[in-house]
Amino acid sequence: MAEDIKNKIEGLREEIRRHDHLYYVLSSPKLTDQQYDKLYAELKKLEEANPDLITPDSPTQRVSGKPVEGFGNIRHAAAMLSIDNTYNADELRDFDGRVKKALGDAPYKYVVELKIDGLAISLRYEKGLLVQAATRGDGQTGDDVTSNARTIKAIPLSLMDAASAPEILEVRGEIYMPKKSFADLNKHRGETGEPPFANPRNAAAGSLKLLDARVTATRNLAFFAYSIGQASAPLSDSHYKTLNALKEHNLPVNGNTKQAKDIEQVIKICKNWEKKKETLGYQIDGMVVKVDGFSEQDILGTTGRAPKWCISYKFPAEQAETIVESIEVQVGKTGILTPVANLKPVKLAGTTVKRASLHNFDQIKRLDLRELDTVIIEKAGEIIPQVIEVKKKERSLFESKPVEIPTNCPSCDSPTVVTVNKRKKTGADEEIDFTTVWCSNPNCNSILKERIAYFVGRGQMDIENFGPALIDQLVDKGLVKNFADLYSLDLFKIAPLERMAAKSAENIIAALEKSKTQDLWRLITGLGILNVGGQTAEILADEFMSLENLMAASVEKLESIDQVGPIIARSIYDYFRDPENIAIIEQMRKAGVHPTPPVEKRSAVLAGKTIVVTGTLESFTRTEIQQAIKDNGGKTSSSVSKKTDMVVVGANAGSKAEKAHKLGIEIISEEEFSELIASD
């Protein structure tokens, strides 16, 4: 029995690790979030009941502990060197000239990689287990950031094939923040507190060096491995093959890594990425070119600071100079006033930029930004660039005056309320002021318009045909005073609106009608509860199954939910204690809004299984059985290998069935397959 539980736990861990790898490394998730959460919850429950079976590499052990006072130092077993830079093709050719000369007539190849714009990390695996993570520091000694690095899902806590891995293996690579996570983080910081990060690199470094690993865990950091440091045995005799070996151990290696036969091919690859770097989901600041063979690398040696077998090709920074024509203030759905810079249009990274985010008034003060200033803007992973520098010397003293915090709302002219909070700068003792400017009028039309636009938006209730022009009219004419009023709209109210064809009016009413049974999590998101985005709403919907249950939940109950912290719990609780919110929800219910609770989306009986079908089938066509496998969470493959989990055999099956038999893979008949999928 004890053995059974142990096996069950280990099986679940394997399964979760595999899905983490599929999701975070291969970017091809095979489970819905609910299916994944179910596996995780099952493992957590079993481990809680059997705490002696918890191992440090269990997926439940990524985030642990309390904030630390500071980081310890780690001396790197092998120095973490830096790379010399080049900026054009001729400098790359010069580098190649030096390599050629040092290697005499011996042939050599290059490996060309993306230069990921993050921060270097050294991960130490002993007997296949992650035991230590250190930043580069000065190259000799770095910070011990083990607890923080463990929270990054792309970093395996144990190597895939611990038995075949060298006893000691230090993996070197780059921790980075994907562009999307960076944009979300800065948006959140702009809305709620601290100053924005200037670029994804700073954001990654700031997030990794937080004293509280639980916060690091929320930052969606990612990782690519690009070399090894100390290893008790080499993985191979060349860099390229070593990267492949790291991949076999489930370490994420960038898929755009290429071998090149000579420097001209290297240059072509570099130029090509310079053009298409915007298509990537993460920021790169250049390319890294490495001599492939380890014996060639040894001959070339290092200068002490940087290896002579490696060079970077740096892209020019994505910055531009322009003029701030005006600073406009926008009102958001929470009533917070946010400044935005209207710029003299300028070309930057292939697009024309007309606006820059300023995030909040503290940011303007920090930069001392004024209208008509000449500024440097930088596109750093965000779609909207940021002002990173003000050219104060070019400022005309006659025209320029500091930006004042608005005393009235730009939309409804009500007085504003200014709150100043002291916030501890993340990971440091230094305190900073955080000023929030609010419109004091809860019925401000701009706030209402933003709320309605959010409610009907794609990530929320997903109600079609609700453009800004329609929302403007509905609010301005007083037809909609809250989102429950949307459900009192009818053709008589909508059809007379400007630019409204009869057919469109009908479509709008139909879309509203359809949304009455929209998924529960979408309605929860649409309410716009502070700190509750789509992901949290899904967790809440799964937990409570109805809006009524969620409304009745105590703070303690809310806090007990995995991934719901005290701040989120409090804002949910407070939201549902506000009489106005309760009245709106009641009004929606009366109007027939009955959201659909979550259901098991898809049977997962074949979750994560790779299945080969062979022979002639009776009750399925090939397409049908492939679809059935997919529908039940499995994957099909055309050839049998060690990675195959199951083979379905029909009549006259040949060599594939034989091979499966030899490899000891489970073989089932078509009938058994039908029973299996029906059993779930």
- The residue ranges that bind ligand IVH (CB under 6 A) are 81-83, 113, 115-116, 120, 136, 174, 226-227, 288, 307, 310, 312
Q: Which of 230, 234, 231, 208 is nearest to 219 (CA)?
A: 208
Query: What's the rounded Cα separation, in Å, for the pair 479 and 501?
Result: 18
Query: What's the rounded Cα separation, in Å, for the pair 280 and 277?
Result: 6
Name the 3-class secondary structure at 369. Answer: coil
Q: Which is nearer to ligand IVH, 310 or 660 (CB)?
A: 310
One of 30, 109, 115, 179 is an active-site residue; which one? 115
Q: Which two tokens stand for residue 409?
A: 């709302």
Length of the chain: 680
Taking the complex as a whole, the smallest distance from the CB of residue 297 to ligand IVH amounts, in Å, to 10
Taking the complex as a whole, the smallest distance from the CB of residue 277 to ligand IVH amounts, in Å, to 13
Taking the complex as a whole, the smallest distance from the CB of residue 108 to ligand IVH amounts, in Å, to 17
Q: Which is nearer to ligand IVH, 59 or 286 (CB)?
A: 286
Beta carbons of 235 and 241 less than 8 angstroms apart: yes
Q: How far is CA 92 from CA 13, 86, 329, 532, 648, in A?
A: 46, 6, 48, 50, 54
Query: What's the rounded Cα separation, in Å, for the pair 560 and 569?
Result: 9
- HSE, side-chain direction, 13 A CA sphere, residue 345: 3
Q: What DSSP letter does each residue of 374-408 carry, written as one string? A: EEEEE--SSSS-EEEEE-GGG--TTT--PPPPPSB
H helices of 52-199, where? 89-103, 146-150, 179-192
Q: Which is nearer to ligand IVH, 223 or 226 (CB)?
A: 226
> Could you tell me whether strands 284-291 and 310-314 are parallel, antiparallel, or unpaired per DSSP bridges?
antiparallel
Taking the complex as a whole, the smallest distance from the CB of residue 212 to ligand IVH amounts, in Å, to 24
Nearest residue to ligand IVH on Cβ basis: 120
Q: Which two tokens stand for residue 524?
A: 């929860």
> Could you tell me whether strands 610-614 and 635-637 are parallel, antiparallel, or unpaired per DSSP bridges?
parallel
Query: What's the rounded Cα separation, in Å, for the pair 221 and 118?
Result: 10
Taking the complex as a whole, the smallest distance from the CB of residue 120 to ligand IVH amounts, in Å, to 3
Q: What DSSP letter does each residue of 413-451 carry, written as one string? A: -PBEEEEEEEEEPTTSS-EEEEEEEEES-TT-HHHHHHH
Catalytic (active site) residue 601? no
Q: Which of 59, 379, 66, 426 is nearest to 219 (CA)?
A: 426
One-letter amino acid of 620: F
One-letter amino acid of 86: T
Beta carbons of 281 and 307 less than 8 angstroms apart: no
Q: Which two tokens stand for residue 190?
A: 């702009």
Query: What's the rounded Cα separation, in Å, for the pair 412 and 438?
Result: 12
Q: How crowded is residue 472: how many other Cβ atoms within 10 Å of its Cβ?
A: 15
Taking the complex as a whole, the smallest distance from the CB of residue 345 to ligand IVH amounts, in Å, to 33
One-letter amino acid of 330: Q
Beta carbons of 633 and 606 less than 8 angstroms apart: yes
Q: How far is CA 101 from CA 107, 294, 300, 308, in A?
A: 11, 17, 10, 12
Query: What's the rounded Cα separation, in Å, for the pair 94 and 45?
Result: 60
Q: Which is nearer to ligand IVH, 254 or 445 (CB)?
A: 254
Among all chains, which residue has been given the structure tokens 């005006």? 326
Q: Which helix (H) or strand (E) holds 113?
A: strand 110-116
Q: Which of 273, 242, 266 is nearest to 108 (CA)?
A: 266
Within 8 A by CB and 6+ apart from 152, the residues are 175, 216, 221, 222, 223
The residues that bridge with 129 in the sheet, in sequence order, are 126, 158
> Could you tell me whether strands 222-231 and 319-331 are parallel, antiparallel, or unpaired per DSSP bridges?
unpaired
- Residues with a known catalytic role: 115
